[in-house]
Amino acid sequence: MSQPKNTSPLLWGATALGALGVLASYALAGPERFWANWVLWFILMFTLGLGSLFIVALEHLVSAKWSVPVRRIPERLATLLLPAIPVGLIALGALPVLYPGTRPEAAQHPILAGKAFWLSLPFFSVRTLVAFALCGLGLAVLVGGSLKQDTTRDPAFNFRARRFAPAFMAIFALVITLIAFDWISGLTPEWYSDIFGVYVFAGAFLSGLAATTLSVLYLQDQGRLEGVRGDHLYNLGGFLFAFTVFWSYIGFAQYMLMWYANLPDEVIYYKVRLAGSWRVITIALASLHFVLPFFALVTRDAKRDPKRLRLVAGLMLGAHVLDMYWLIFPALGGRPRFSWPELSFALFFLGGILLWTRGAMQKGEDMPVGDPFLREGLEFRL
């Protein structure tokens, strides 16, 4: 999203090259590795879009005024849910390959037998379709209505969005929990954590905030978003800082409780991730997702510094990729895997995300010009 327009051929070329590698990986790297990469990028796209839509709904829920001038940015990013849905439908093909609970022999497993109906392939698929439909509803009401308001200037949209926002929060809680427990925790269904959904929520919200911050800074560099000032950037930086700490707190609390209880069916999840080469990934994740962003944004001035925000936001998006990799790939067993199949998937999906996002950034006005609170948002001062 931060590339100049003349890089379109390069982006298209990288995406096409990645697509060839993705196709070859199924035959050369095997179905398990292919589907693990596919599920990884589906979850990354989906959580980025869902986290952005959560930001939009949160503004309406609390009637925030300062964020009105930048609201169009997460609205555009939320449209990543549209390509993520067909990617997720294809990802259903991973269920018999990667998800033990969807296989017939799960009924004979001493732990999985009690979860057999919930984990079964038909019910898993139905829950996924319901989640996609609910996300489509949220997009239609919150994003579609906002774009329409640019033309109609109808203030009634603000009242409709504010009434819908509490319902969307319930929708969001359901969808992010299904993604967390079905698509991620379902890879190791013997393991369970009460707060795993909250952990995935924190990562999704952070990824949406980081992408929003990068997009705002990019548009400002292009001479767009006139009126968005350092005070708006400060609030974005403050949210990034706060939820970096929140993500770390939830992740550490989950680990500490399982370490203290020391139950065999719980600690095995961390035993795998703290052994061998996975220990290096775990340390890198803690450093990139907490230590570096925390100290980079701890001062007041840092939260409004565009260079510092750009660096931290980019770091947070990279850390989100590493986080999802750390959650998903240990289910394949063995050491961390990163070679041409993973590079091919990264080229294909990153290229596609950048192309989609850049197209979305050209649609509609850069600010919700029909919103009656836009002027108040532009006049915001700390």
Q: What is the pLDDT of residues 83-123, one digit of tens each?
A: 999 999 999 999 999 999 888 887 788 878 888 888 889 99
When the pLDDT of each residue in the chain is averaged and rounded to a whole number, the result is 93
Residue 314 has what pLDDT? Answer: 97
Q: What is the pLDDT of residues 46-61, one digit of tens each?
A: 999 999 999 999 999 9
Q: What are phi and psi for residue 274, nearest 5 degrees?
A: -115, 15
pLDDT band at 1 (very low <50, low <70, confident <90, very high): very low
CA-to-CA dists, residue 24 to 34, 337, 344, 351, angstroms: 9, 17, 9, 18
Average pLDDT of the segment spanning 135-160: 96
Task: Name the residue ranges covered by the structural domains of the chain.
Answer: 5-378
pLDDT band at 333 (very low <50, low <70, confident <90, very high): confident
For the record, the structure tokens of 203 come out as 């990562």
d(CA 250, CA 201): 10
pLDDT band at 160 (very low <50, low <70, confident <90, very high): very high
Residue 103 has what pLDDT? Answer: 85
Q: Higher pLDDT residue, 279 or 6?
A: 279
Residue 292 has what pLDDT? Answer: 96
pLDDT band at 382 (very low <50, low <70, confident <90, very high): confident
For the cut 90, the answer to whether the pLDDT of residue 312 exceeds it is: yes
| DSSP per-residue string spanning 77-97 | HHTTHHHHHHHHHHHGGGHHH
Residue 116 has what pLDDT? Answer: 83
For the cut 80, the answer to whether the pLDDT of residue 5 exceeds it is: no
Q: Which parts of 63-155 fold into alpha helices (H)? A: 72-78, 81-91, 95-98, 116-119, 121-138, 145-152
Average pLDDT of the segment spanning 307-332: 96
For the cut 50, the answer to whether the pLDDT of residue 4 exceeds it is: no
CA-to-CA dists, residue 187 to 96, 106, 119, 151, 333, angstroms: 11, 13, 11, 46, 11
Residue 6 has what pLDDT? Answer: 58
- Contact at 8 Å (CB) between 141 and 154? no
For the cut 60, the answer to whether the pLDDT of residue 3 exceeds it is: no
Q: What is the pLDDT of residues 18-73, one digit of tens each?
A: 999 999 999 999 999 999 999 999 999 999 999 999 999 999 999 999 999 999 99
Quote the radius of gyration of the chain (alpha carbons, Å).
21
Average pLDDT of the segment spanning 300-328: 96
Residue type for 312, please?
A: V
**Overall pTM surpassing 0.75 (yes/no):** yes
For the cut 70, the answer to whether the pLDDT of residue 2 exceeds it is: no
d(CA 294, CA 97): 39
CA-to-CA dists, residue 245 to 203, 252, 279, 292, angstroms: 11, 10, 21, 11
Residue 104 has what pLDDT? Answer: 82
Q: What is the pLDDT of residues 213-255, one digit of tens each?
A: 999 999 999 999 999 999 999 999 999 999 999 999 999 999 9
Residue 7 has what pLDDT? Answer: 66
Residue 105 has what pLDDT? Answer: 81
Q: Higher pLDDT residue, 133 or 110?
A: 133
d(CA 285, CA 319): 6
Residue 71 has what pLDDT? Answer: 97
- Contact at 8 Å (CB) between 1 and 217? no
Render the burial of 333-348: b for 16+ CB within 10 Å, e for the rest: eeeeeeeebbebbbbb
Q: What is the pLDDT of residues 195-218, one digit of tens each?
A: 999 999 999 999 999 999 999 999
Average pLDDT of the segment spanning 75-88: 97
